[in-house]
Structure 1
Amino acid sequence: MSDFQAPKGVPDYLPPESGQFVAVRDGLLDAARRAGYGHVELPIFEDTALFARGVGESTDVVSKEMYTFADRGDRSVTLRPEGTAGVMRAVIEHNLDRGQLPVKLRYSGPFFRYERPQAGRYRQLQQVGVEAIGVDDPALDAEVIAVADEGFRALGLDGFRLELTSLGDDTCRPQYRELLQEFLFALDLDEDTRRRAQINPLRVLDDKRPHVREMTAAAPLMIDHLSEAARQHFDAVLGHLDALGVNYVINPRMVRGLDYYTKTTFEFVHDGLGAQSGIGGGGRYDGLMKQLGGQDLSGIGFGLGVDRTVLALAAEGKTVGETARVEVFCVPLGEPAKLVLATLAGRLRAAGVRVDVAYGDRGLKGAMRAADRSGARIALVAGDRDVEAGTVGVKALQTGEQVDVGVDDVVTDVLARLA
């Protein structure tokens, strides 16, 4: 037993199950790639102030969940808890906003939040995301949402629903904030919740505690107090989603967990996951770039949970990706056969076939057991007599049928069998 284990709340992804993780991660972003979103690779950690200013100091993410530490230069840095602030920093720093707009980017990787670990909620969570920056157009909102919707459906997931609302704009949010605070301050709130209501009253509506939800059931809702411009924007988004055939339900009580959202806000929910039902979401963040020191440009994006999507697929009894580690397993019996099969393995790999070899001079029985465990469909078996005869045994592992094939014809034979 090792003295070391993975940190609490940080999962390992191991074969063969890791094949599904890779398929989900890549599949969720394939629609974004086809829609012109370029790949961006971001730092794992950033200046702490980036997240404090960009995400919002009143959020649980900043106030309770960030992994923050001083580096050797005594600078405060934080393991990234989300992707949008880092993307925006990169766009500003590298002047991407000075070129063609919108800037359309996609990304994937680990993010870090100190939460109580449970199924679907990890301290190192895996997400994919997109950001479209620089154009305030309802059609772009709809495209971003449709890209996420298509990503889930392309994996075969169908038991989810899209919920969305509008969180208004600068012309109606201040008045709504006063209205909501007036309602909240009349309630018997605890000190922490009252402080949260003072900083960002919308955060109180996101409180999951039953007694708080009961007290706020009659709270005024942003969607009922939209400005004319915000209302027109939201109605246009709905019209584009209808045209794209994207199904949705309006959830007027939705409050995302980050402070920068404005206007269009959405979440994908799967009831098969229990309490952790959110599998992804996002929204528009019109003031974020200016807040981080850049131009006053709008943006919209999403983050989708890879881990939760895997769990959602499992809840529907579905799997994706490669479950077998290899397709062909080579069983050499002796050094001359090892050289022949290693050469054939290289040729098959060059043709796109996944091939492994029984290394370590195992006997026939042990090597064949390894072939069975590998999940391969075909075994290539050769010994000294086969080398002398210029043949290789090609065995179908499911049926046990084996035929001798000339060395020069093995690759063609195997490719035909796999096809």
Structure 2
Amino acid sequence: MLYHMYEATRMAIMPWRMGAQAVRNTVTAPWSPLSYTPLGKQIDSAAEMFERVTRRYGKPDWGFEKTVIDGKDVAVEEEVVIHRTYCSLVNFKRDTKTKRNDPKLLVVAPVSGHYATLLRGTVETMLPDHDVYVTDWTDCRYVPITADRFNLSDYIDYIIDFLHYLGPNTHVLAVCQPSVPALAAVSIMSGWGDICAPASMTLMGGPIDTRRNPTAVNKLAKEHTIEWFERHVVTVVPPPYPGMGRRVYPGFIQLTNFISMNLDKHMISLNELFDHLVQGDEEEADKKKAFYDEYLAVMDLPAEFYLETVETVFQKHSLPKGEMMARWNPVKTEQITRTAILCVEGELDDISGVGQTKAALDMTPNLPDSMKHYHLQKNVGHYGVFNGGRWRREIAPVVKGFIREHDHELGGKARKVHAIAS
């Protein structure tokens, strides 16, 4: 019923949204006296704000047309190389004139309410120096109920399959929630002696061990039973969506939770957007619009994946305890011996507290210390770990340097040159 109520409310607001658009058209018309007055600008801005905050946003485009390599513009083409029911593996092909020996990078996006395009800034920064592939997850309200189910083990299987497709000497970058399945996948592959186990793995702001420095999100997960979550936040997709009848954790609930955690900041930000619109400050207004176009675009999660993640990661802490199972495979992080690990955390992260991601380094005792690295970024929160100015200027250079150092080809050549010079 929860989803039906949401859809009914959205439909009820539709006439008001159309009315707001009609007001905008009238107020901004060249023949309207109000279009030349401060009052008219305020009315237009207020109507636009109403229309924007009540809109349902679809999946944003990646929007990559070019990147800059060696100071020159290079065209970029988006190509789906693998298509699965719940995820597509997308490669951003760079139209370079000469063959480049850049590292292969698998960016594992979270299934936590937002689309993979939330990592647009991450991909954009890594694109000039890497052959980038991204897990582009599917909104479950568009997956028919006749399709297979999708749980945490399926997520791990997807990562393993994608790494097999990409082959040896691939690097993994997992942002937030997928740090757990990425670490699990690499642990399993390492136990198999799989030659496609990645050369390096970067974990950014992930809930590896939420017993360390627990946040409000972690405490909420511990306060309720898994049955409570199933009763209160899992619902059924209504018609006319293709996934009608499918049990999901709706994106609009996750978005509500995200906004409520920082309600004051969002109110201030939206007030600033209104002021920019009134004052005609288009550049600053466009920045705010771009952020909220992405932030307000949410997708539904498979109920079985959501519930299993809450129970395994946030309630039982199965991974750090060495008790996690994926299919029939025990997940033993001590089996990682050849995949270098970089853990990145934000000092002000209120989603994954400081120390939760770093736990991965303590859970891999058989990995040499020379293959472990930790970076704590000052003055950034969760979003700033993988997007924004500090990501580009301070974090990305660390990630890029770590990848190249541990690339089996580039890193090996660099070490050989260094040894000869010594």
TM-score by length of 1: 0.25
Identify the structure with the greater helix proportion.
Answer: 2
TM-score by length of 2: 0.25
CA radius of gyration, larger in = 1
